[in-house]
Amino acid sequence: MQNLLSDVVVVDLTRALAGPHAAMMLGDLGARVIKVETPNGGDDSRGWGPPFVEGESTYYLSANRNKESVTADLKSDEGKEFLTKLVRRADVLIENFRPGVLDRLGFAVERLHEINPGLVILSITGFGHDGPEGGRAGYDQIAQGEGGLMSITGETEPTKVGAPIADLLAGMYGAYGALAALHERAITGKGRVVRTSLLASVVGVHAFHGTKWTVAHELPERVGNHHAQIAPYGLYRTQDDIVQVAVGSEGLWRLFAPIVGLDPADERFAVNSDRVAHRDELTAAIETAFASEPADVWLQRLADKGIPAGKVRDFQQVYDWEQTLSQGLLIDVEHPTLGTIQLPGPPLRFDENRYAGARETNLPPPRLGEHNDSVRKWLEE
């Protein structure tokens, strides 16, 4: 089980988040990931903070577990020779330069495949590698806005998702595309280029909001902490706190309505389309009922009837939660300067493995150039 990608070597030329996240996903699955960084500072995210702990950026730590770090100036002859040797030994190369940068360094796609015909190349850009705006730099919040995600998030004004979701999704899409290309290579022996972008990743998760426009020609609108097309489904105030409730079927509605003193056959709320049309009235009625008891009382009542509901936890509550721990979502790693630290772990489990991911031992995010000697020695073997 620990050998899922143990025969795969990944060259990670990326920085910031989208590319490093893609490379980390492959590392979590057992691949050997060699992160190539500039000698003068390395990955930009090493300097992103606060917080810093003993000089280490927690931002950088979030996206670089299960990797080795080497430094090289790819503009120098020595750096180019080093990268050429790496490419010969690699199965996957990941880059998130602006379009044309790798070409100018002397490593256009044609050259990379000349060095290694079986190389899978994953290229992540901001807005795509071509098209009228293909050269634009990509930053998460800008992509969230340009890709429409902010237009459906928030209440009175467009709001970004709290996590850098465009970056993370681009990394996820990129990793899954790279795995598909590796599968094809096992049949054909040839590598190919896989491309995605922050824009593509955001548009790729429009889901029913997208078809609301493309098919029904209705413009999606912000509905805050409520589902755009299902009611009641959202966040509600109780006597002392907030709870979330998801009444996702007519059967659940018939169970839920009496709990809050409503007639499930009330003509305003009888079917989902009616409830969406009268959402404000429905929300007011639910919150009037919920105001009579604390959140924990309501959560228990809803659980007793099989109504999906839950709390809104802060990060301390999430990482202290026994259910989170039971899924192996916190891992311990031995960092060379920080000692034993906990990191959010891989989100996949295989078979009956107690821990997430596919490695027997997870590697800490590396210090800049930590593996310069060992990787260069390996290249000469």
Return the CATH number at 187. Answer: 3.40.50.10540
Whether 340 shows a pLDDT value over 80: the answer reads yes
Tokens representing 172? 């996820």
Same structural domain, 156 and 298:
no
Q: What's the average model confidence in pLDDT over 318-322?
A: 97
Q: Round the average pLDDT of the chain to a whole number and report it.
A: 96
Same structural domain, 180 and 265:
no
The one catalytic residue among 167, 240, 304, 332:
167
Same structural domain, 182 and 106:
yes
In a domain, 291, yes or no: yes
Q: What's the average model confidence in pLDDT over 155-179?
A: 97
Contact of 371 with 380, CB cutoff 8 Å = no
Identity of residue 326: S
Residue with tokens 């992160």: 35
Task: For residue range 181-223, list pLDDT tens digits in order.
Answer: 999 999 999 999 999 999 999 999 999 999 999 999 999 999 9
The pLDDT of residue 355: 66
Same structural domain, 149 and 287:
no
User: What percent of the chain clears pLDDT 70, i.e. is strictly above it?
Assistant: 98
Residue with tokens 């050259």: 111
- What's the structural domain count of the chain? 2
Same structural domain, 289 and 148:
no
The pLDDT of residue 2: 56
Residues in CB range of 68: below 8 A, 6 or more apart: 32, 33, 34, 35, 363, 366, 370, 371, 374, 375
Same structural domain, 161 and 262:
no
Residue with tokens 């120098």: 76
Contact of 19 with 171, CB cutoff 8 Å = yes
Angle between helices 295-304 and 250-259 (to 10 degrees): 130
Task: For residue range 358-375, list pLDDT tens digits in order.
Answer: 788 899 999 999 999 999
Domain extent at residue 334: 9-205+325-379
Task: For residue range 92-132, list pLDDT tens digits in order.
Answer: 999 999 999 999 999 999 999 999 999 999 999 999 999 99
Same structural domain, 195 and 334:
yes
Same structural domain, 164 and 32:
yes
DSSP letter (8 states) at residue 226: B
Same structural domain, 171 and 34:
yes
HEC string of 123-168 equals: EEECCCCCCCCCCCCCCHHHHHHHCCHHHHCCCCCCCCCCCCHHHH
Whether 352 shows a pLDDT value over 80: the answer reads no
In a domain, 216, yes or no: no
Same structural domain, 23 and 118:
yes
Same structural domain, 99 and 64:
yes
Whether 357 shows a pLDDT value over 90: the answer reads no
Where is the domain boundary, 280, 310, 340?
Answer: 310
Task: For residue range 26-48, list pLDDT tens digits in order.
Answer: 999 999 999 999 999 999 999 99
Cβ neighbours of 358 (radius 10 Å): 23
The pLDDT of residue 349: 86
How far is it, in rounded angstroms, from Cα 129 to Cα 335?
37
**Choice among 62-66, 279-283, 353-357 with the minimum mean pLDDT:** 353-357
Where is the domain boundary, 267, 284, 310?
Answer: 310
The pLDDT of residue 354: 67
Q: What is the CATH number of the domain that holds 289?
A: 3.30.1540.10
In a domain, 220, yes or no: no
The pLDDT of residue 356: 63
Sheet containing 242-246: give its strands across.
233-237, 242-246, 309-310
How far is it, in rounded angstroms, from Cα 15 to Cα 124?
11
140 is catalytic: no
Task: For residue range 218-263, list pLDDT tens digits in order.
Answer: 999 999 999 999 999 999 999 999 999 999 999 999 999 999 999 9
Same structural domain, 337 and 258:
no
Task: For residue range 282-294, list pLDDT tens digits in order.
Answer: 999 999 999 999 9
In a domain, 171, yes or no: yes
In a domain, 211, yes or no: no
Cβ neighbours of 212 (radius 10 Å): 18
Identity of residue 142: I
Whether 86 shows a pLDDT value over 70: the answer reads yes
The pLDDT of residue 350: 86
The pLDDT of residue 353: 74
Whether 135 shows a pLDDT value over 90: the answer reads no
pTM above 0.75, yes or no: yes
